[in-house]
């Protein structure tokens, strides 16, 4: 259960922009104070040293946490996608935004529940805990009991979030640049576009309920997974009511035997391949909090379906060809597959650009190409990928952004790689993939 002190969620555009504008002022004030401190010590302060202090980074994180919604989501995306390009002080603070937010005040919560469920809403419950057990970027989760006694998890969206997404993200990006906390070299536009698209989807809880129902049907015959049930009569566009599912955080499994950690990660990689090639529906959010483990039943619990994305047959087949090409080290087939996915759509792609991107994709496929289990614990693949990616972005000035479908899917894959490394798992990814690949090509 969260122990964060509650704060009111700003709902008007003026209030939300005012909070961001005041942030710039506080950052500037902190910058002047740091400059004066260094001058008093006989040092000549540099601009970056004055801006990138832990205190300024904390001011940014606190403001984004209080605003929640798209503002906080952009902080999450920056910490995950651009973390290696950001100053360490800012990266460390922004990483805290991935799972924790400040819950809304009880009075604001009560008003929202009455607005969504009506004045007699409490008649539906034998118990409702006003203190949330979790608070994240666009909503908080409460434990409750149905009037029939069933344990429930009620996800409640912060007020004003859905209508402030586009303006929030644009304002935060502008003000982060103005504050000087964001280095000039970061290509932010793909992150902004993705953040807006993802947040609009995640803000529609009725759509999330529909995605959850689809996954329950798709995995109905698989005893390895446990998904919550939906209570549609107690769900709205801003409230999603589900059955409560027991489980420990998946990262807590690090203390469990190697075989269990290997099994959990094998299940997640197998699920990803099913999502791409069978379901053509992928839950694209890599947040560890979306997975829990039920110790009593030995099942992997799947939560949060707001960031699901449907994939076309052409894209699915493109990835089938790509994985096949990578397994065979077939450069011609790899190029064909990448073009089908949507890469190299511009007519002015230089040969050096093409080869550099293909080399980066081949590097990412290292776990697929290994015979037997890949040891994520000892792998330095992530650092090699970061280095190669930074070199690519610096050397290839005219390289275009990858297609949106690929951006979502690649983040999901990167998230699984990170979780596998966190759990020190060993996974035979190649063997899990082979049933989905046409080896006759």
- Count of domains observed in the chain: 3
Mean of the per-residue pLDDT values of the chain: 79
Q: Which domain holds residue 426?
A: 249-441
- Chain centre distance of CA 277: 22
One domain for residues 76 and 150: no
Q: Does residue 381 fall inside a structural domain?
A: yes
Q: So what's the pLDDT on residue 88? A: 55
349 vs 107, residue with greater confidence: 107
Nearest-angstrom CA–CA distance, 210 and 213: 5
**314: confidence class by pLDDT, cuts 50, 70, 90:** very high
pTM score of the predicted model: 0.79
Number of other CB atoms surrounding residue 353 within 10 Å: 19
CB of 181 within 8 A of CB of 271? Answer: no
CB of 10 within 8 A of CB of 107? Answer: no
Q: Does residue 244 fall inside a structural domain?
A: no
Q: So what's the pLDDT on residue 300? A: 98
Nearest-angstrom CA–CA distance, 225 and 219: 7
Nearest-angstrom CA–CA distance, 283 and 299: 18
Closest CA to 104 of 75, 143, 132, 76: 132
Closest CA to 215 of 231, 230, 200, 204: 230
Q: Encode 323-344: b = buried (16+ Cβ within 10 Å), e = exposed.
A: bbbbbeeeeebbbebbebbebe
Q: So what's the pLDDT on residue 377? A: 94
One domain for residues 179 and 54: yes
One domain for residues 93 and 119: no
One domain for residues 313 and 369: yes
The pLDDT of 181-196, averaged and rounded, is 64
One domain for residues 130 and 66: no
Q: Which two tokens stand for residue 430?
A: 């190649």
pLDDT digits (tens, 9 = 90+) for 368-419: 989 999 999 999 887 787 677 666 655 545 455 667 788 788 878 888 998 9
CA angle 117, 242, 144 (to 5 degrees): 65
Nearest-angstrom CA–CA distance, 225 and 223: 6
CB of 10 within 8 A of CB of 69? Answer: no
The pLDDT of residue 188 is above 90: no
Q: Does residue 3 fall inside a structural domain?
A: no
One domain for residues 326 and 425: yes
One domain for residues 370 and 425: yes
Q: Does residue 236 fall inside a structural domain?
A: no
Radius of gyration of the chain (CA): 23
- Active centre residues (catalytic): 285
Q: Does residue 238 fall inside a structural domain?
A: no
One domain for residues 89 and 182: yes
Q: Does residue 4 fall inside a structural domain?
A: no
Closest CA to 424 of 388, 373, 386, 384: 373
- Chain centre distance of CA 307: 8
Number of other CB atoms surrounding residue 4 within 10 Å: 14
Q: Which two tokens stand for residue 409?
A: 């899917």
Q: Does residue 234 fall inside a structural domain?
A: no
pLDDT digits (tens, 9 = 90+) for 239-285: 999 999 999 999 999 999 999 999 999 999 999 999 999 999 999 88
One domain for residues 218 and 116: yes
Q: Encode 38-74: b = buried (16+ Cβ within 10 Å), e = exposed.
A: eeeeeeeeeeeebbbbeebbbbbbbbbbbbbbbbbbb
Beta strands in 48-167 (DSSP E): 125-128, 134-135, 139-146, 151-157
Q: Does residue 304 fall inside a structural domain?
A: yes
Percent of the chain with pLDDT over 90: 46
Helix, strand, coil fractions of the chain, as percent rounded to 5 = 60, 10, 30
Name which of 83-87, 115-119, 395-399, 429-433 the model is least confident about: 83-87
One domain for residues 117 and 178: no
Q: Which two tokens stand for residue 284?
A: 């694209």
Give 242's strand partners: 153, 230
Nearest-angstrom CA–CA distance, 202 and 204: 5
10 vs 198, residue with greater confidence: 198
Nearest-angstrom CA–CA distance, 187 and 83: 13
Q: So what's the pLDDT on residue 166? A: 81
Tokens 């805290």, located at residue: 96
End-to-end CA gap in the chain: 52
One domain for residues 334 and 377: yes
Beta strands in 131-196 (DSSP E): 134-135, 139-146, 151-157
One domain for residues 129 and 271: no
């Amino acid at each position: 259960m969260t122990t964060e002190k509650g704060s009111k969620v700003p709902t008007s555009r003026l209030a939300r922009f005012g909070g961001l504008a005041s942030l710039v002022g506080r950052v500037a004030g902190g910058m002047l104070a740091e400059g004066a401190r260094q001058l008093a010590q006989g040092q000549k302060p540099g601009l970056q040293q004055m801006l990138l202090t832990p205190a300024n980074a904390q001011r940014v994180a606190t403001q984004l946490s209080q605003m929640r919604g798209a503002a906080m989501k952009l902080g999450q995306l920056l910490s995950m996608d651009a973390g290696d390009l950001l100053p360490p002080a800012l990266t460390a603070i922004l990483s805290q935004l991935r799972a924790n937010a400040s819950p809304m005040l009880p009075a604001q919560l009560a008003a929202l529940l009455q607005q969504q469920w009506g004045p007699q809403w409490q008649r539906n419950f034998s118990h409702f805990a006003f203190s949330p057990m979790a608070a994240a970027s666009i909503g908080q989760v409460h434990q409750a009991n149905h009037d029939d006694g069933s344990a429930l998890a009620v996800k409640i969206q912060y007020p004003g979030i859905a209508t402030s997404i586009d303006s929030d993200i644009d304002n935060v990006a502008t003000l982060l640049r103005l504050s000087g906390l964001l280095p000039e070299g970061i290509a932010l536009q793909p992150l902004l576009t993705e953040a807006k698209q993802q947040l609009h989807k995640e803000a529609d809880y009725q759509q999330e309920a529909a995605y959850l129902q689809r996954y329950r049907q798709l995995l109905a015959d698989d005893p390895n997974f446990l998904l919550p049930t939906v209570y549609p009569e107690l769900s709205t566009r801003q409230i999603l009511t589900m059955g409560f599912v027991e489980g420990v955080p998946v990262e807590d499994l690090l203390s469990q035997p190697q075989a269990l950690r290997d099994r959990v990660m094998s299940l997640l990689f197998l699920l990803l391949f099913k999502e791409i090639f069978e379901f053509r529906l992928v839950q694209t959010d890599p947040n560890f909090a979306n997975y829990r483990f039920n110790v009593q039943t030995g099942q992997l619990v799947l939560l949060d379906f707001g960031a699901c994305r449907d994939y076309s047959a052409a894209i699915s087949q493109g990835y089938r060809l790509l994985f096949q090409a990578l397994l065979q080290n077939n450069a011609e087939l790899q190029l064909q597959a990448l073009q089908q996915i949507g890469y190299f759509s511009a007519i002015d792609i230089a040969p050096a650009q093409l080869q550099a991107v293909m080399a980066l994709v081949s590097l990412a496929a290292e776990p697929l190409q290994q015979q037997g289990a890949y040891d994520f614990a000892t792998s330095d693949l992530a650092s090699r990928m970061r280095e190669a990616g930074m070199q690519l972005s610096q050397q290839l000035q005219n390289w275009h952004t990858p297609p949106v479908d690929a951006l979502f899917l690649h983040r999901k894959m990167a998230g699984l790689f990170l979780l596998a490394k966190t759990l020190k798992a060993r996974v035979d990814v190649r063997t899990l993939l082979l049933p989905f690949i046409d080896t006759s090509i």
